[in-house]
């Protein structure tokens, strides 16, 4: 590693709002405890939007939930650390201390936002429940803050607080989720598949809102998605997951234009196009692994990789810096040509 690359890495870590190191998350199964996330490391630089992409089952949502130390049973964080600026290692927190961090430091917007709202209560009553859970003394101030956030997102704050979830559109429910995530002044916003199940116009509106709120509130944002289009629209940085591992990360536009891992190239190559040659998109061969089929030895992507070598079956590649502010986990030599979906 050159002095320049080392200095870049040190600066990135020093400026990180969230630093994940060697994170492993296990789930108990009939075959024993199996890793959903394995030795993952990622930084969320302060003030940036980071996209976390990969196919379903790659470990994206599990990693995101780990930031809240909210892995559901029968899962558990078995090793690693999650350092949040001003909070410390979230994996060491529990009880009241952990509850205060959730919402006040870290805000989470769940996938399928309608499922995270109580259909029997108005949004305002759920806001009051949130305030009581966090021992908020100034409830009027909490309501005022929620209305202000809703107004910033193009909604009528008073009407939204008086509404039940079924009275709101999908895009409005997604924005209500963001309001509830930020109303306690969280600095870090985590969005899990924020555009899933929304039509194209609603998707565009939600992404515009995320950009606007991120900038106005001075947030550090993580967007979990399978959609490369979402990342290209909104992210400053991009991390790619496969089989519970981070396999590549770096500045979003640089990674999208010059992918250096064969999985990243294949994901980009599989993205549908609406301009140019629409026939160039190619589906990835095979299927992504699940907890029981992910390889325990060697590279987790080797069975679908056009560049697989003997060493890939024997040794797992490490996520290493190969260029300034770029990391990849692959035994093959990195290339920086445009993605085609046919390999690296």
Instruction: Report how far residue 304's alpha carbon sits from residue 109's, in angstroms, rounded to the nearest whole number.
Output: 32
Q: Where are the domains of the chain?
A: 3-105+186-328, 116-185
What was the pLDDT predicted at 110? 86
pLDDT in single tens digits along all 344 residues of the chain: 334 334 344 444 446 899 999 999 999 999 999 999 999 999 999 999 999 999 999 999 999 999 999 999 999 999 999 999 999 999 999 998 998 899 899 999 987 766 678 999 999 999 999 999 899 999 999 999 999 999 988 999 999 999 999 999 888 998 999 999 999 999 999 999 988 877 888 888 889 999 999 999 999 999 999 988 899 999 999 999 999 999 999 999 999 999 999 999 999 988 765 555 555 667 788 888 999 999 999 999 999 999 999 999 999 999 999 999 999 999 998 775 554 444 43
User: 269: phi > 0 → left, psi -120 to 50 → alpha, else beta; which?
Assistant: alpha
Read off the pLDDT of residues 190-207 as tens digits, 9 standing for 90 and up.
999 988 877 888 888 889
What was the pLDDT predicted at 203? 84
Return all residues near 312 (Cβ < 8 A) that are at least 6 apart: 298, 299, 302, 305, 331
- Per the DSSP assignment, residues forming a β-bridge with 51 are 223, 238
Q: What is the CATH number of domain 3-105+186-328?
A: 3.40.50.300
> Kind and range of the H or E element at 70?
none
Contacts 24+ apart (CB under 8 A), 272-275: none
- Per the DSSP assignment, residues forming a β-bridge with 321 are 327
79 to 21, 33, 40, 82: CA distances (angstroms): 9, 13, 10, 10
What was the pLDDT predicted at 271? 75
What was the pLDDT predicted at 14? 46
Could you tell me how many residues make up the chain?
344
What was the pLDDT predicted at 261? 96
What was the pLDDT predicted at 333? 87
Sheet with 75-84: list strands edge to edge: 32-45, 16-29, 75-84, 88-89
């Amino acid at each position: 590693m050159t002095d320049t690359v080392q200095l870049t890495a040190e600066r990135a870590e020093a400026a990180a709002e969230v630093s994940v190191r060697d994170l492993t998350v296990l789930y108990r199964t009939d075959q024993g405890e199996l890793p959903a996330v394995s030795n993952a490391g990622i930084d969320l630089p302060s003030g940036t939007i980071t996209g976390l992409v990969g196919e379903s089952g790659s470990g994206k949502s599990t990693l995101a939930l780990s930031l809240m130390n909210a892995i559901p049973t029968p899962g558990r964080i078995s090793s690693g650390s999650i350092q949040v600026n001003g909070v410390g290692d979230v994996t060491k927190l529990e009880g009241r201390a952990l509850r205060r961090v959730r919402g006040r430091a870290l805000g989470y917007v769940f996938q399928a936002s309608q499922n995270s709202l109580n259909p029997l209560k108005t949004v305002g009553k759920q806001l009051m429940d949130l305030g009581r859970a966090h021992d908020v003394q100034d409830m009027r101030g909490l309501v005022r803050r929620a209305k202000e956030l809703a107004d910033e997102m193009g909604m009528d704050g008073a009407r939204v607080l008086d509404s039940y979830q079924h009275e709101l559109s999908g895009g409005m429910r997604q924005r209500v989720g963001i309001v509830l995530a930020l109303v306690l002044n969280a600095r870090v916003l985590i969005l899990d598949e924020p555009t899933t199940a929304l039509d194209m116009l609603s998707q565009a509106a939600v992404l515009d809102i995320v950009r606007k709120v991120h900038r106005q509130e001075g947030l550090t944002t993580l967007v979990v998605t399978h959609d490369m289009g979402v990342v290209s629209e909104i992210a400053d940085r991009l991390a790619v997951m496969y089989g519970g591992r981070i396999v590549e990360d770096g500045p979003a536009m640089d990674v999208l234009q010059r992918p250096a891992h064969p999985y990243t190239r294949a994901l980009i190559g599989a993205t549908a196009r609406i301009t140019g040659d629409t026939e160039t998109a190619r589906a990835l061969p095979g299927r992504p692994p699940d907890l029981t089929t992910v390889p325990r030895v060697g590279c987790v992507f080797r069975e679908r990789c056009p560049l697989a070598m003997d060493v890939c079956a024997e040794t797992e590649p490490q996520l290493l810096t190969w260029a300034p502010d770029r990391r990849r986990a692959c035994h093959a030599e990195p290339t920086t040509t445009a993605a085609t979906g046919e390999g690296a």
